[in-house]
């Protein structure tokens, strides 16, 4: 009789990645990161990211970096990935893969940082990702591990997109990334 390890990931899954979800509540950080990767893989045109510092975002996984690369290659929008951060102090330490992607796809990825003096409204205490103005992944608060993935909710996606745009226009460009220091 052949013994199988029930705890081993399924073929093609990386480091604890869960099977594809169809949406719903997320109860932990790995589910949150997996939902983001799933959403990015389904996005055709644009990705909006709001996060406190990207520390828990999961962009640093090989899978997420690969999905963002694919999005940058297939999208006709410039930039197709816009990232709005509350803080950028630890970006170089916590997001080296993202910074590499920004070097490779500088025209496709734009990062802005909110002014620390700008009061953060209560509605901006929850990190979120909006894909193609139709799907969202969010946590209920940046300190919470619980969240939700709504792959087809244009009303919530539109509300978050409007909130994002309002703060995007007030934010300043994030740290610059150049190829070979040029």
* Nearest to 31, CA basis, from 67, 10, 58: 58
**Domain boundaries along the sequence of the chain:** 24-172
The candidate with the shortest Cα–Cα distance to 67, out of 99, 48, 44, 49, is 44
Q: Report pLDDT for 22.
A: 62
DSSP state of 80: S
Topology classification of domain 24-172: Endonuclease; Chain A (3.30.870)
Check whether 55 has a pLDDT greater than 80.
Answer: no
Strand pairing category for 147-150 and 135-139:
antiparallel
Q: Look at residue 52 in the predicted model and tell me its pLDDT.
A: 83
pLDDT band at 34 (very low <50, low <70, confident <90, very high): very high
Residue 6 pLDDT exceeds 70: no
**Is residue 156 pLDDT above 90, yes or no?**
yes
Describe the strand order of the beta sheet including 128-131 as a list of residue ranges. 24-26, 147-150, 135-139, 128-131, 47-51, 81-85, 109-113, 172-173
Q: What is the residue whose two structure tokens read 């993935």?
A: 149
Decide if 112 contacts 168 (C-beta within 8 A): yes
For 63-79, write each residue's pLDDT tens digit.
889 999 999 999 999 99
pTM: 0.82
- What distance in Å separates the CA atoms of residue 136 and residue 71, rounded to the nearest whole number? 16
81-136 confidence digits (pLDDT tens): 999 988 776 777 778 888 899 999 989 999 999 877 767 777 677 899 999 999 99
Torsion from C-alpha of 165, 166, 167, 172, nearest 10 degrees: 80
**pLDDT at 21 (0 to 100):** 54
State how beta strands 147-150 and 128-131 pair: unpaired
CA distance 19 to 85: 29
Looking at residue 18, the DSSP 8-state letter turns out to be P
Q: What is the DSSP annotation of 115-150? A: -TTS---GGGSS-EEEETTTEEEEESSTT-S-EEEE
């Amino acid at each position: 009789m052949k013994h199988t390890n029930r705890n081993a990931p399924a073929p093609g899954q990386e480091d604890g990645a869960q099977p594809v979800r169809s949406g719903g509540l997320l109860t932990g950080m790995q589910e949150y990161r997996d939902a983001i990767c799933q959403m990015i893989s389904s996005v055709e045109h644009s990705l909006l990211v709001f996060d406190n510092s990207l520390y828990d975002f999961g962009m640093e996984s090989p899978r997420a970096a690969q999905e963002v690369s694919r999005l940058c290659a297939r999208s006709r929008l410039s930039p197709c990935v816009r990232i709005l951060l509350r803080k950028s102090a630890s970006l170089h330490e916590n997001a080296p893969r993202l910074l590499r992607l920004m070097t490779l796809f500088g025209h496709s990825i734009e990062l802005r940082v909110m002014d620390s003096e700008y009061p953060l409204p209560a509605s901006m205490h929850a990190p979120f990702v909006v894909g193609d103005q139709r799907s969202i992944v969010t946590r209920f608060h940046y300190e919470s591990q619980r969240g939700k993935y709504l792959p087809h909710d244009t009303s919530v996606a539109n509300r978050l997109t409007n909130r994002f745009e309002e703060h995007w226009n007030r934010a300043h460009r994030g740290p610059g990334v150049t190829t070979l220091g040029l």
